[in-house]
Amino acid sequence: MRVQTHPYVLFLAVSALISLIASLITRRRSAPGSFTLGLLLFAMSVWSGSYALSLTDIPLSSKTFWLGIMFISMASVPVTYLIFILEYTRRQKWLSPLPISLILAIPILSLILKWTNGYHHLVYLSFKTIELDNTYVIQYVLDPWYYVGMAYSYAVIAISFILLLSSTIYSGPLLRNQYYQVLLASLVPLLANLYGALFFSDQSLLDLSPISFGLCGILFVYSFFRSQLLDLLPVARNRLIENMSDGVLVLDAQGRIVDINPAMLEILKGRSASFIGKNVSEIINGWAEMCLGIHE
């Protein structure tokens, strides 16, 4: 098979490979959310890979087949991301069978309509191949259900970001750093998609999102090794440390304070911002001197 020289094919192939490797790395963890994150990255890899194959020099029937595979991953990425966020932020009541079934209803219906489009044309009316930069791509004449599915995907992603931002705001400094990293990794494909939709797609008929998945995977893997993402679970902090009556300080390898619970703040008579990043010896010595002054 002769591969076209369009640069997107190479970029998409690299993005697919990176996402696949990131998927294998994350799925090896046993922490809650790691399996779903692995599935999310795998779906991104399939999206990038199938899109790359659709841009190669293959027959029209093969192009439509790989675009159909891409459509499956496109439908699965937003809902898989939402499920990952629900698991990671420990919203257990949303993970019961009924809510999950409702979340999956529209994507499953969209897939059924896509693969049976020839009987009803609810997803697209027709398609044709056009030449673009010496590359033949497929241009669809879209029908209303495609926009219903797209609107649902954006709504699911928006809900996921709201839940993640909410958890970020109410988390301690240690977990907040992990949430920031998840937000950063999540923003990469979203911004690429929005930029492509607003400024790029009408001119090139090409999607920028799959190219960004590789960078998204790199950021998630970096968080795994740099910040032990998913090893220190939010539930451990929120339920155990936050509500303990005993004062707790969390230190890094250099003895600097990275987290502090309300009970310790009450003991030290201060705010978390005034302690985070300081060496524990400074805080303890200052507190000891204060106690001695009170005793005298």
- pLDDT tens for 115-148 read 887 787 777 766 666 666 666 666 666 678 888 8
Predicted local confidence at residue 258, as pLDDT: 66
How does pLDDT run across 237-247, given as a tens digit for each residue?
555 566 666 77
Question: pTM of the predicted model, to two decimals?
Answer: 0.74
DSSP state of 94: G
Q: What is the CB-side half-sphere exposure of residue 6 using CA atoms within 13 A?
A: 22
Q: Is the distance from CB of 261 to CB of 247 less than 8 angstroms?
A: yes
Task: Report whether pLDDT(296) > 70.
Answer: no
**CATH superfamily to which 7-232 belongs:** Rhodopsin 7-helix transmembrane proteins (1.20.1070.10)
Predicted local confidence at residue 126, as pLDDT: 63
With the CA atoms of 87, 89, 95 and 100 taken in that order, what torsion angle do they form, in degrees rounded to the nearest 10? -80
Predicted local confidence at residue 200, as pLDDT: 60
How does pLDDT run across 65-106, given as a tens digit for each residue?
888 898 899 999 999 999 999 988 878 788 888 889 999 999
Query: What angle do the packed helices 34-54 and 60-88 form, to 10 degrees?
Result: 160
Number of helices (H), then strands (E), belonging to the chain: the values are 12, 4
- Alpha-carbon gap, residue 179 to 92, rounded angstroms: 18
Fold of 244-295: Beta-Lactamase (3.30.450)
Per-domain residue ranges of the chain: 7-232, 244-295
